[in-house]
Amino acid sequence: MDDIPKIGITGMPGVGKTQALLKIIGALEKSGYIVEGMITKPITKKKTRVGFYVADWQTGEKEVFAHIDFETKEKVGDYGVDLDALEKIGVPAIEKAITDDEVDVIVIDEIGKMEMLSEKFCEIVTEALDSDKPIMVTLHKKSRTPLLQDVRRRDDIRILEVTPVNRNLLPYKIEKIMEEKLPPLF
């Protein structure tokens, strides 16, 4: 089963993990593969990040998941976190990616501090990583939570770091890794 490509993309906040992932998804979809899962999108105001949406990759359905204006008991840094949004949009998108036979590749953006406040999210991530489907995830670089440590310790996942120097080339490299190991399309 170690022929199934499982890629973790890590890097400092704002370095371009999600952008790298989106480039790879675009290339895979252009090749005909079906991708599904959860993506986070930044919310910016005057070029400053003020929050994040969580979105279902295929349907585009999204909700505000974290925002500096949220008054919630769940906080990470300056962001109030709405776990209901994650569990309403993100968790079912990942679940669909695992169970839908039409889906070729699972994506999870991001396994980070905010997302790991949700037990349901942590469970579905483990299920996705244990599935027999190719998967690409983005990982918070510094966090030392149990789930992230488990992901980093797995010997079936290849973790690559996005840096300002390699951010334009890395998506191409990961795309090649994925396409070499993905089953051919008929």
pLDDT in tens, the chain (186 residues): 458 899 999 999 889 999 999 999 999 999 999 999 999 999 999 999 999 999 999 999 999 999 999 998 899 999 999 999 999 999 999 999 999 999 999 999 999 999 999 999 999 999 999 999 999 999 988 877 888 888 999 999 999 999 999 999 999 999 998 988 887 776
The burial of 45, by beta-carbon neighbours within 10 Å (0-12 exposed, 13-18 middle, 19 or more buried), is given as: exposed
Residue 2: per-residue pLDDT: 55
Distance CA 62, CA 56 (A): 6
For residue 102, is it within any domain? Answer: yes
Assign residue 70 the CATH number of its domain: 3.40.50.300
For residue 1, is it within any domain? Answer: no
Distance CA 104, CA 113 (A): 27
For residue 147, is it within any domain? Answer: yes
What total number of domains does the chain contain?
1
For residue 186, is it within any domain? Answer: no
Cα–Cα distance list, 57 to 13, 107, 108 (Å): 21, 8, 9
The residue with tokens 């169970």 is 99
For residue 185, is it within any domain? Answer: no
**Domain residues for 45?**
6-180
For residue 172, is it within any domain? Answer: yes
Residue 183: per-residue pLDDT: 77
Residue 186: per-residue pLDDT: 64
For residue 35, is it within any domain? Answer: yes
Residue 1: per-residue pLDDT: 43
Distance CA 134, CA 107 (A): 9
Cα–Cα distance list, 144 to 6, 7, 173 (Å): 20, 19, 27
For residue 145, is it within any domain? Answer: yes
SS (H, E, C) 93-125: HHHHHHHCCCCCEEEEEEECCCHHHCHHHHHHH
Tell me, what DSSP letter sits at residue 141? S
